[in-house]
């Protein structure tokens, strides 16, 4: 199904057109019409399927039609991490490029200026607030934020938030809102605790389930069964020659992340590390460089495993086995997004064989075991019934040597958010009817999609990394006064009118006139989480 078949405003279709998105993903096709009807919904889909765009587009449509004449907080999106909050804000900037919609990003840490910017943004009346639970509660208790006018509440990565212990925080935030609202919940899984939460805060919700808890079939999954001391040798072998696509190396330990990044840098590779010891500004710079292609290899803790959409990632390496099968799915879900293909390789030592076998059982698939590189020697036998993690406390070599691998703790710090967006949403529903019949039946032309070594289809659901369509992103948002950012929308908006006139749809006029020619190169785009 195409985006132009939906009942979306022209300004939104303009943004989709400029971002080369035409075809919807399955979760978007199932969820968007329901959300446009105003119904509550609980959606479940694997990572990388376009969940974020599934609620972003209908919310933008609603805000554009209704406006915000009272300058209040009209909608609230609650997410587990600041990284996901930033990502969602970028999607709003991209999809809403031609819309006068304001957003405020709210997350913890940083200095007093960040707090003040968040407070001003919400008090001035933000169309969309994107917030982590803890920081939002702090503002509700100390900043006098009014959520009594919220018409739409969205919980993204709901399972992750409950895993992180945010259940009580969510219920407290909900208590500040009116009962009459639309509530949207998206999750990668639907365990009993999620369904219980849904019963509490949703009203007669529709349910959308897309490939629950299964990795994308486009991901080539494999594993090296090895001793712990062999892992660094495998890494050296894999990167002996630069790879032609972006790569993420995951580890559960920030100390291992630092060690791996150091080794790869000594190999003259273009690598950066992402872990909790970095300040927020440093983390944002690393992510931007990775997205823009200035960094080829990102070595990271699980801080980027969920909800972060980065195009053209051809390989994910699990340096150690994730603690939870769901974490495995989220890690490898960073590659093969939308219509792309990709590979995921996991290093499995003796202690980790039991955990890895649980992953295989969870995904109902035996993962292919690779031959170890000749230079690292032979590894252990894969026998998870015996090597189940008991009694191996860091053994290496032939079962006699000590493990030299590093340990470490997880991630922690938080930082500030900010306010961005255009002016006030235009009010009135009458303006919609006057232009509804002006569109042509052909819709959006095919986009010429750039190819890569891993055959990536550019259906990411975010604006290009160069910011050409995004206006001012969160990191560039004004920190003083929370002022609305008009960006460079003036002339571009006027110029877009000509583009719209050339591609108006003629609904229901079959055969009248000639359809516009499609752009050479083909390739249809969708929007992705």
Tens digit of pLDDT for each residue in 203-247? 999 999 875 556 777 899 999 999 999 999 999 999 988 888 899
Q: Is the pLDDT of residue 397 over 60?
A: no
Q: What is the C-alpha separation between 383 and 405, in angstroms, rounded? A: 22
**Unique residue bearing structure tokens 């010429």:** 448
Over range 125-129, report the average pLDDT: 96
What digits encode the pLDDT tens for the residues 263-311? 999 988 999 998 878 887 888 888 889 988 899 999 998 776 665 667 7
* Residues 480 and 376 grouped into a single domain: no
213: nearest Cα among 235, 191, 197, 243: 191
* Residues 115 and 190 grouped into a single domain: yes
Residue 449 lies in a domain: no
Over range 417-429, report the average pLDDT: 43
**Unique residue bearing structure tokens 């560039």:** 476
Residue 512 lies in a domain: no
Crossing angle for the helix pair 10-18 and 489-502, to the nearest 10 degrees:
90
* Residues 371 and 478 grouped into a single domain: no
CB 425 within 8 A of CB 127: yes
Residue 76 lies in a domain: yes
* Opening angle at CA 86, ends 80 and 90, nearest 5: 135
Q: Is the pLDDT of residue 379 over 70?
A: yes
pTM of the model: 0.57
* Residues 265 and 360 grouped into a single domain: yes
Residue 342's CATH number? 3.40.50.300
Sheet holding 368-369, edge to edge: 271-274, 297-300, 246-250, 313-318, 342-348, 219-225, 368-369
The count of structural domains within the chain is 2
Residue 502 lies in a domain: no
What digits encode the pLDDT tens for the residues 474-494? 333 333 333 333 333 444 444
The pLDDT score that the predictor gives to residue 25 is: 86
* Residues 9 and 54 grouped into a single domain: yes
Residue 315 lies in a domain: yes
Q: Is the pLDDT of residue 138 over 80?
A: yes
The pLDDT score that the predictor gives to residue 258 is: 92
| DSSP designation for 2 | B
* Residues 141 and 198 grouped into a single domain: yes
**Unique residue bearing structure tokens 């997350």:** 107
Residue 187 lies in a domain: yes
Beta-sheet strands, E only, within 307-349: 313-318, 342-348
CB 72 within 8 A of CB 129: no
Task: Compute, in degrees rounded to 10, the torsion defined by CA atoms 49, 51, 52, 53.
Answer: 80
Q: Which domain-ending residue is among 369, 402, 435?
A: 402
Residue 447 lies in a domain: no
* Residues 148 and 270 grouped into a single domain: no
* Residues 8 and 37 grouped into a single domain: yes
Residue 357 lies in a domain: yes
Q: What is the C-alpha separation between 15 and 347, in angstroms, rounded? A: 42
**SS3 sequence, 453-494?**
CCCCCCCCCCCCCCCCCCCCCHHHCCCCCCCCCCCCHHHHHH
In 3-state terms, the chain is what percent helix, strand and coil (to 5)?
Answer: 35, 15, 50
What digits encode the pLDDT tens for the residues 324-374? 787 888 788 888 766 578 899 999 999 999 999 989 988 888 999 999 999
Residue range(s) defining the domain that contains residue 139: 3-213+414-421+458-493
**Unique residue bearing structure tokens 């340990």:** 407
* Residues 282 and 383 grouped into a single domain: yes
Q: Is the pLDDT of residue 56 over 50?
A: yes
User: DSSP 3-state assignment of 330?
Assistant: helix
Q: What is the C-alpha separation between 164 and 82, in angstroms, rounded? A: 14
28: nearest Cα among 10, 3, 47: 3
Residue 352 to residues 433, 451, 468: CA-CA distances in angstroms?
A: 60, 37, 45
The pLDDT score that the predictor gives to residue 119 is: 96
The pLDDT score that the predictor gives to residue 426 is: 39
CB 110 within 8 A of CB 415: yes
The pLDDT score that the predictor gives to residue 340 is: 72
* Residues 39 and 186 grouped into a single domain: yes
* Residues 310 and 394 grouped into a single domain: yes
The pLDDT score that the predictor gives to residue 368 is: 95
Q: What is the C-alpha separation between 421 and 487, in angstroms, rounded? A: 8
* Residues 245 and 392 grouped into a single domain: yes
């Amino acid at each position: 199904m195409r985006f132009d078949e939906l009942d979306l405003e022209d300004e939104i279709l303009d943004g989709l057109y400029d971002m080369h998105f035409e075809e919807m993903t399955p979760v978007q096709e199932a969820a968007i019409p329901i959300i446009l009807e105003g119904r509550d919904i609980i959606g479940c889909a694997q990572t990388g399927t376009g969940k974020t765009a599934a609620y972003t587009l209908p919310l933008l449509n609603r805000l554009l039609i209704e406006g915000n004449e009272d300058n209040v907080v009209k909608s609230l999106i609650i997410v587990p991490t600041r990284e996901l909050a930033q990502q969602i804000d970028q999607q709003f900037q991209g999809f809403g490029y031609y819309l006068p919609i304001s957003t405020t990003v709210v997350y913890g840490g940083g200095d007093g200026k960040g707090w003040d910017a968040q407070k001003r943004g919400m008090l001035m009346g933000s169309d969309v607030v994107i917030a982590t639970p803890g920081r939002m509660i702090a503002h509700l208790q100390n900043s006098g934020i009014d959520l009594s006018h919220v018409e739409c509440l969205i919980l993204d990565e709901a399972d992750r938030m409950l895993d992180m212990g945010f259940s009580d925080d969510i219920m407290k935030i909900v208590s500040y809102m009116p009962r009459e609202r639309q509530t949207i919940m998206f999750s990668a899984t639907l365990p009993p605790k999620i369904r219980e939460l849904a019963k509490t805060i949703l009203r007669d919700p529709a349910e959308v389930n897309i490939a629950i808890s299964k990795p994308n079939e486009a991901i080539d999954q494999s594993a090296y069964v090895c001793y712990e001391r062999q892992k660094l040798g495998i890494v050296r072998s894999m990167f002996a020659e630069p790879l032609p696509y972006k790569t993420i190396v995951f580890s559960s330990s920030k100390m291992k992340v630092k060690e791996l990044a150091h080794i790869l840098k000594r190999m003259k590779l273009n690598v950066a590390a992402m872990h909790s010891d970095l300040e927020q500004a440093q983390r944002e710079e690393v992510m931007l460089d990775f997205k823009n292609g200035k960094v080829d290899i990102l070595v990271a803790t699980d801080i980027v495993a969920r909800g972060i959409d980065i195009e053209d990632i051809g390989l994910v390496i699990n340096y150690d086995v994730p603690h939870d099968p769901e974490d495995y799915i989220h890690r490898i879900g960073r590659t093969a997004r939308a219509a792309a293909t990709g590979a995921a390789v996991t290093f499995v030592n003796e202690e980790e064989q039991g955990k890895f076998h649980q992953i295989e059982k969870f995904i109902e698939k035996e993962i292919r075991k690779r031959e170890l590189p000749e230079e690292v020697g032979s590894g252990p036998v894969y026998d998870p019934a015996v090597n189940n993690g008991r009694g191996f406390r860091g053994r290496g070599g032939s079962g006699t040597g000590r493990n030299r691998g590093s340990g470490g703790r997880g991630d922690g710090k938080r930082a500030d958010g900010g306010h961005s967006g255009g002016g006030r949403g235009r009010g009135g529903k009458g303006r919609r009817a006057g232009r509804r019949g002006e569109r042509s039946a052909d819709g959006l032309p095919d986009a010429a999609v750039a190819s890569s070594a891993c055959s990536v289809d550019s259906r990411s659901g975010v604006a290009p990394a160069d910011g050409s369509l995004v206006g001012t992103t969160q990191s560039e948002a004004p920190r003083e006064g929370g002022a609305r950012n008009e960006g460079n929308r003036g002339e571009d908006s006027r110029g877009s009118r000509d583009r719209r006139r050339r591609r108006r749809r003629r609904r229901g006029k079959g055969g009248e006139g000639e359809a516009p020619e499609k752009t050479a190169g083909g390739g249809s785009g969708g929007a992705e989480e």
